[in-house]
Amino acid sequence: MQLRTELRDDVTIIALEGSLDSRTAPQVQQEIEALFPDHGLVLLDLSGTSYMSSAGLRVLLLVYRRAQAGTARLALTGVPDEVREIMAATGFLDFFTVAGSVEDGVKALTV
């Protein structure tokens, strides 16, 4: 799993690439914590995520809680269909603003 960041229109975009599972989740969680601002706008781009286990969903939940604890606003984009279905079935999807593209996510956060 690799993470890369980009700043676009005051939005920190954190893109995840690879498999987010029980093996990679602890490292990803740690890296996101280091990249996540206490204040501001954050878009998690999951379009490069090839697989996400329940450990990956837990990472998303912890990121959500981190945003709620500070004053950061968080949105997701590129959520794989199977992950979206699981998140919707559990009510987990309602926690997030979900955008269809990075551009839409940036717009949703900056409006």
How many Å apart are CA 111 and CA 83, to the nearest integer? 27
Q: Provide the number of structural domains found in the chain.
A: 1
Look at strands 71-77 and 39-52 and give their pairing. Answer: parallel
Q: Residue 105: exposed, middle, or buried by beta-carbon count in 10 A (0-12, 13-18, 19+)?
A: buried
Q: State if pTM tops 0.75.
A: yes
Report the CATH number at residue 79: 3.30.750.24
Please give the residue range of the domain that contains residue 38. Answer: 1-108
The pLDDT-based confidence of 2 (bands split at 50, 70, 90) is very high
Predicted local distance difference test score (pLDDT) of residue 63 = 93
Neighbours of 108 (CB within 10 A): 18
For residue range 46-95, what is the model confidence (pLDDT) as tens digits?
Answer: 999 989 999 999 999 999 999 998 889 999 999 999 889 988 998 889 99
What tens digit of pLDDT does each residue of 10-52 get? 999 999 999 999 999 999 999 998 988 878 999 999 999 989 9
Q: How many other C-beta atoms lie within 10 A of the C-beta of residue 99? A: 20
